[in-house]
Amino acid sequence: MAILADLVQVVIGVDTHKHTHTAAVVAAASGGVLATQTVPTTPAGYQALVALAQRHSGPRVWAVEGTGGYGAGLARLLVERGEWVVELDRPARAARRHGAKSDPLDAARAAREALGRPQLAQPRAGGQRAALGVLVAARRSAVAASTCAKRQLHALVVAAPERLRAHLRGRSTRQLVAACARLRGHPSWELECRTTAVVLRALACRVLELDAEARTHQRAITAIVRAWRPELLTERGIGPITAAMVLCAWSHPGRCRSDAAFAMLGGAAPIPASSGQPVRYRLNRSGDRQLNRALHTIVLARCRFDPTPAPTWPAAAPRARPTGRSNAAWPATSPASSTGASKEHQPLTHDRSVPAAAHSRILRP
């Protein structure tokens, strides 16, 4: 596979911030800095960076930090102009600890980081994917705020005056929200009771508004998914929200080079527990956690509602006691447990697919 230095002559690294962008033009052959410039985050500033790049001839690539955040405007302009843009995270921590910290240095480090990477990430696409991302984020915040308000309702009802508790006791969350939204304070009530009723009504109205907002966002998400990738909604266990999360992470064809790369992106790729235990794995806690949540929801739905029978593991063969050893090699056991292995010598793995011979190998010192 060709490296980036063989494909381009200059790399423009961009250190992005909210109000300014700093670019460094780095020679691909030597890694030397040819020019630097800091511009405001405006269309005129973006055009100035393009002019800076055009003063250096030859093929070029832009290494932009945060193309989905501070660098979104610049990345969008560069893609529209047909420039080659790759996405980078922050420069290596070690380089920052052992050297000075400034925007021109960070821009140069971003360019050199792109030269040293075997795989370059493509920025996520705009259009339908960006619209889905905005709607999913807005719906998620509305649902979280609604859940928080419902918890406050239950907590306030527990400590409310008895006049209110008698009216609201024993109701489900939906019934509690509806009842609190109809509360009206009475002038004859004491101050604590009237204030609690006003607060309960305000919280219930907030819940109703947030739930209505979440439903509006969900209808918009469903419309985009049906227009963009309707085949996803025909798959068992995939709804509009999980489909939107998958599409936001996947973005466009070619962004994930393989199924394994997509699994690693979603944090679903197993990680070996250790180099000496290749049959044992641990959870992958990295990757896009929203994509991981969507995959988890899909798997749970399919396990519960898919009529296809799940595969069964083959029954493990009885584990024979290793031969060729004297009884002195094993610790003494009580007569009650002499018919089997002691608990401290049970297999170190619970994977039923591992044959008994592998278990006996694990037990041998």
Q: Order of strands across the sheet with 85-88?
A: 33-40, 20-27, 10-16, 60-65, 85-88
Alpha carbon distance 89, 322 (integer Å): 53
Q: What is the pLDDT of residues 255-289, one digit of tens each?
A: 888 888 888 889 888 888 777 766 788 888 888 89
- pLDDT, residue 295, reads 92
Average pLDDT over residues 231-252: 91
pLDDT in tens, 118-151: 777 788 888 889 899 999 999 999 999 999 999 9
Burial class (CB in 10 A: 0-12, 13-18, 19+), 86: buried
Contact yes or no for 356/322 (Cβ under 8 A): no
Quickly count: other Cβ atoms within 10 Å of residue 252's Cβ: 15
Least confident of 36-50, 167-181, 182-196: 182-196
Interval 48-71: pLDDT, tens: 999 999 999 889 999 998 888 899
pLDDT tier at 347, thresholds 50, 70, 90: very low
Mean pLDDT of 1-13: 82
DSSP 3-state of 75: helix
Question: What value does the mean pLDDT take over residues 3-19?
Answer: 89
Strand partners, 87: 64, 121
pLDDT in tens, 66-107: 888 899 999 999 999 999 999 886 555 555 555 557 888 888
Cα maximum dimension of the chain: 91
What average pLDDT does the chain have? 81
**Structure tokens that stand for 66 in this block:** 């945060």
Predicted confidence at residue 337, as pLDDT, reads 40
- Decide if pLDDT at 327 tops 70: no
Distance (Å, whole) CA 49 – CA 43: 10
Determine the CATH number of domain 4-116.
3.30.420.40
The domain ranges of the chain are: 4-116, 128-228, 240-274+281-305
Count CB-CB contacts under 10 A for residue 69: 10
Asked whether the beta carbons of 192 and 165 are under 8 A apart, the reply is: no
Binned at pLDDT 50, 70 and 90, residue 323 comes out as low
Q: Is 334's pLDDT higher than 50?
A: no
Inform me whether the pLDDT recorded for 319 exceeds 80. no
pLDDT value at position 254?
Answer: 78
